[in-house]
A and B are shown apart, each in its own frame.
Chain A
């Protein structure tokens, strides 16, 4: 499975990811440090006291020197300390928030692929029937309604109108307890987060299935006397998945950006929430750390997608 060529390809891509991370962190570092305001400015801390605090955090040095010291300690896994919660090490903080966001995003991704491909296949198999129209309409709603509207509606329905039915399912504990939440607790934000991307996947799967079902090899499969379920799943869906996989990269990015909104609305203590809070609080180190983690996630997601191609389509080899 893993040929020499594939391993070299993976190594090259990993090197590229490292380069991207350095570039992203540098740009973000320069940008946030150029923003007006600082985490330490207040009525009580000014003048000499402010100078002392800035010196304590190394913020009085030239910016390139500051970046260099950030980079060298980041390589050793130390992303520095928070300014808002003074002295809190960022690496464990970000790791905890990442696992929360990963649970939410992972669930949303599963929903996206599961619901999206199922809807897409069903719509294509029953083209121009009420099944097709219903599923296609749901998909259109999915990728037309902004997630903050859906999230607001979700909160309104489940925590305000139906608090007895849901039994407070969407009250989210702010404190890390090992795993973030049960599937039931995760379901509402994950469904809303995955709704947009499910719509996209439905649309692409449906179109790809309709095209694949017209292909000569489907006729061959039917002429062989295969059961229609086998023809649909083994012969048609496998080929229809190729375009679906090609949009998985952009979809992962959609889920990450979507999670920033969803986590803030539902108060989920993940990376997306930290992302906004750190910017508002001018907590430079945290902002740079969160950005860098996002860049890493996207880089890895794209690499996984490109490797998935070779699994589904034997004509693609690296």
Chain B
């Protein structure tokens, strides 16, 4: 194993709002090795973007990193001065964002916005910047790059804008590229092209990639290792194969079950995880997934499970784990995945409606 280029330890980022302290990210730890492709998945609001923003110091008021360290090339990014951090942003660690239209400045030419990233750091010799801007645009497969570089963002299509964003991110040959939902705003065929591009660039340039997405298919297509986040914490970590074939955390398991499949029987209900993610201001005691977990046991309500090794290179934060759920609770055959359904644990009389009692109209709407 090589030394990680980025190591996040115990990162916590909270937002101090008028309604209370939103504990968006709590005690997140992970490492990224050189050239690695790491996926961070989870549903909206689970803290994946905030984690990425914390790495680059881009969290805006009222948000604040309250604990942890982010080691990059031997220094803690959280302890750097503004100017030192600015020198790392866009130079050693680049970031691309979700919506490529709103992420590009509408009044500046695309070429200018790409070149500007290079001028800001002087890593690329000044006389080569313009040439490299065109080359980058070619590298991300924008046709007619010489002419297109003088266009404004509104003259680009959605896919081209994201390509331009990627070109901008790669311009200073960063060691790490953080891609925050890079394909979400694009249609499916363009999504596939962008992912292929990222994969090729990862191989060609050797830049490590952190891909943040809620889309499991996107992760499967690009990442070798995957982190699953839920309610501001990492609940499972493993190789892509482990996460997709042998998930150990009930949340990962539920998430995979809820992916719509084209080969599924028609007329089958689209499965979803019952309930909503917890309120990050007022978190439940114990495991944060307990209000929605079909396999919960009494202990889940009292103690928060630590993240522990469950298989070589695979870690999960669960008192039960799917291995036990399959062996003891019949996880392979259950159809009712309402909270506590498989384990029969309903403390304080908290019981969700069994599937049979769901009103007919609601059930039909879900068809």
- Same complex for A and B? Answer yes
Residue positions of A touching B, CB distance < 8 A: 215-217, 219-228, 230, 234-235, 238-239, 312-315
The residue in chain A whose Cβ has the minimal distance to the Cβ of B117 is A224
A133 to nearest B CB, angstroms? 18
**Chain B residues within an 8 Å CB radius of A226:** 86, 90, 116-117, 120
B294 to nearest A CB, angstroms? 38
**Chain A residues within an 8 Å CB radius of B156:** none
Q: List 26 A-B contacts (CB under 8 A).
A: A215-B102, A216-B97, A216-B99, A216-B102, A216-B103, A217-B103, A217-B105, A219-B103, A220-B103, A221-B105, A222-B58, A224-B89, A224-B116, A224-B117, A224-B120, A224-B168, A225-B89, A225-B91, A226-B86, A227-B120, A239-B107, A312-B107, A313-B107, A314-B107, A314-B109, A315-B107
**Chain A residues within an 8 Å CB radius of B95:** 223
Docked Cα-Cα span, A219 to B50, in Å, equals 13
Chain B, interface SS category: loop
Docked Cα-Cα span, A234 to B104, in Å, equals 13
Docked Cα-Cα span, A219 to B59, in Å, equals 10
A226 to nearest B CB, angstroms? 5
| Interface contact B90-A225, CB-CB below 8 Å | yes
Docked Cα-Cα span, A127 to B315, in Å, equals 45
A300 to nearest B CB, angstroms? 25
A173 to nearest B CB, angstroms? 46
Q: Contacts A225-B117, A227-B120 known; A220 to B107 CB distance under 8 Å?
A: no
**Apart from A220-B104, A222-B58, A315-B154, 4 more pairs, CB < 8 Å:** A223-B94, A226-B120, A314-B109, A314-B154
The residue in chain B whose Cβ has the minimal distance to the Cβ of A226 is B120
The list of the 4 closest CB pairs from A to B, nearest first, reads A225-B90, A225-B89, A224-B90, A216-B102
Give chain B interface residues in 45-101, CB to chain A under 8 Å.
56, 58, 82, 86-91, 94-95, 97, 99
| Interface contact B108-A235, CB-CB below 8 Å | yes
**Chain B residues within an 8 Å CB radius of A238:** 105, 107-108
Contact of A235 among B82, B105, B165 (CB under 8 A): B105
**Chain B residues within an 8 Å CB radius of A228:** 82
A117 to nearest B CB, angstroms? 16
**Chain A residues within an 8 Å CB radius of B154:** 314-315
Chain A, interface SS category: helix
The residue in chain B whose Cβ has the minimal distance to the Cβ of A239 is B107
* Total number of B residues with any Cβ neighbor in A under 8 Å: 29
| Interface contact A223-B106, CB-CB below 8 Å | no
**Chain A residues within an 8 Å CB radius of B244:** none
**Chain A residues within an 8 Å CB radius of B89:** 222-225
B206 to nearest A CB, angstroms? 21
Give chain B interface residues in 13-52, CB to chain A under 8 Å.
none
Contact of B152 among A223, A225, A230, A315 (CB under 8 A): A315
**Chain B residues within an 8 Å CB radius of A221:** 105
**Chain B residues within an 8 Å CB radius of A223:** 56, 58, 89-90, 94-95, 97
| Residue B121 at the chain A interface, CB threshold 8 Å | yes
| Interface contact B121-A225, CB-CB below 8 Å | yes
| Interface contact B120-A217, CB-CB below 8 Å | no
Give chain B interface residues in 241-288, CB to chain A under 8 Å.
none
The residue in chain A whose Cβ has the minimal distance to the Cβ of B104 is A217
| Interface contact B106-A217, CB-CB below 8 Å | yes
The residue in chain A whose Cβ has the minimal distance to the Cβ of B56 is A223
| Interface contact A217-B102, CB-CB below 8 Å | yes
Contact of A315 among B58, B104, B106 (CB under 8 A): B106
**Chain A residues within an 8 Å CB radius of B117:** 224-226
The residue in chain B whose Cβ has the minimal distance to the Cβ of A236 is B105
B82 to nearest A CB, angstroms? 8
**Chain A residues within an 8 Å CB radius of B120:** 224-227, 230
Q: Contacts A239-B106, A315-B154 known; A225 to B86 CB distance under 8 Å?
A: yes
Docked Cα-Cα span, A225 to B89, in Å, equals 5
**Chain A residues within an 8 Å CB radius of B121:** 225
**Chain B residues within an 8 Å CB radius of A314:** 106-107, 109, 152, 154
**Chain B residues within an 8 Å CB radius of A215:** 102
Give chain B interface residues in 113-133, CB to chain A under 8 Å.
116-117, 120-121
**Chain B residues within an 8 Å CB radius of A216:** 97, 99, 102-103
The residue in chain A whose Cβ has the minimal distance to the Cβ of B152 is A314
A220 to nearest B CB, angstroms? 5
**Chain A residues within an 8 Å CB radius of B108:** 234-235, 238
A222 to nearest B CB, angstroms? 6
Docked Cα-Cα span, A227 to B120, in Å, equals 8
**Chain B residues within an 8 Å CB radius of A222:** 58, 89
**Chain A residues within an 8 Å CB radius of B56:** 223
Docked Cα-Cα span, A12 to B120, in Å, equals 44
B247 to nearest A CB, angstroms? 32
| Interface contact B106-A219, CB-CB below 8 Å | no
Docked Cα-Cα span, A228 to B89, in Å, equals 13
Docked Cα-Cα span, A238 to B109, in Å, equals 13
> Which of A220, A223, A226, A314 has the largest number of chain B CB atoms within 10 A?
A223
